[in-house]
Amino acid sequence: MLIPGSLIFVILLALVFEFINGMRDSSNIVATMISSRAFRPHTALGMTAVAEFAGPLLFGVTVAKTIGSDIVASEVISLQALTVGLLGAILWNLITWYLGIPSSSSHALIGGLIGAAVVSSGWGAVKLGGLTKVLLALFISPVIGFVVGFFLLKIVYVLSQNATPHINNFFKQSQLFTAGALAFSHGTNDAQKTIGIITLSLIISGELSDFTIPFWVVLLSAGTMAAGTALGGWRLIRTLGGKFYKIRPVHGFTSQLTSGIVILAASVVGLPVSTTQVVSSSIIGVGASERFGKVRWGVAGDILTAWIITIPISAFFSAGIFLMLQYFKVSF
């Protein structure tokens, strides 16, 4: 059977989004590993890429089903709308990557989908119940990351209060497991977003009759994210790794453990969350737990701003791209 060119284009765009997502979000995983001198940069990125590839292969596709079936109606939205939704998300991701702002790819994707769906088909194309669930998860998870990180560091300090200075070696070496768990949970959650988009495009085009995810979609999405991760997002590594405060091994260990717990728990129940925001908030929570004035709150404020504006801006971008294509009578 001949595959429509518009479907191929959507799949390619989804993979471009995933590659950029992996490249950007690799910084979330490895920043504390590198800054605390637990691992060399290329070792950290390589290990992270392997763990992220394994995540969606081993842990199911509940998040993919949420993204692909609970936000927009497949019987209403078109492949062209899906295309401009991805373009809006990619555009905002590239802008924030260039500026070194750790904004959320997940927020950008949701905003892009909403903007494209509404401008092309009206609010009837949006499933408000599913969208509300997703937005609550995206906005509450960073708060949970902050709170868990804040109290987990206090617990770690209580448990290690009589330890010798060699405890630092433990916190360094343990990051092999905590950072690996974080990378695994990130792959489990984030790669599934692209899996959901590609599966949705297959349903819209008539290639699938229901939301049954082909294995090649999982494999392709996981591999693309791992490839992006292997290249790394060095601009964002500098932001997350040093601009909040000077990160020591105990901070890296605790923030990674916190982020991995929050993201994996969300993945189990099928909720898409922002790795960028969860990791950032956990780093801030860990630092604030040690000393509130330790954190450079100006940098945290910049990230909070990006957290708030990403969805409306990416929605605006995708809606603008759709209207521009209509104005010039471009269709695909």
Q: How many CB atoms lie within 10 A of CB 221?
A: 33
**Number of C-beta neighbours around residue 161 at 10 A:** 8
Percent of the chain at pLDDT exceeding 90: 55
Q: Give yes or no for a contact between 211 and 32, defined as CB atoms under 8 angstroms apart.
A: no
Helix (H, G, I), strand (E, B) or coil at 253: helix
Q: State both tokens at 135.
A: 């937005």
- 168-206 pLDDT, tens digit per residue, is 899 988 988 988 888 899 888 999 999 999 999 999 999
Q: How far apart are CA 143 and CA 138, in angstroms?
A: 10
Residue 328 lies in a domain: no
Predicted local confidence at residue 56, as pLDDT: 87
Q: Is residue 167 part of a domain?
A: yes
- Residue with the larger pLDDT of the pair 212 and 332: 212
Give the list of residues 6+ apart from residue 141 with CB closer than 8 angstroms, or none. Answer: 262, 263, 266, 271, 273, 274, 277, 278
| Residues sharing a CB contact under 8 Å with residue 229, sequence separation 6 or more, in sequence order | 22, 23, 25, 26, 29, 45, 48, 49, 52, 183
pLDDT value at position 232? 66
Q: Which domain holds residue 29?
A: 5-321
| Total domain count, the chain | 1
Q: For residue 327, tell me if it sits in a domain.
A: no
Is residue 332, in this structure, part of any structural domain at all? no
Q: Is residue 11 part of a domain?
A: yes
pLDDT greater than 60 at residue 238:
no
pLDDT of residue 6 exceeding 70, the answer is yes
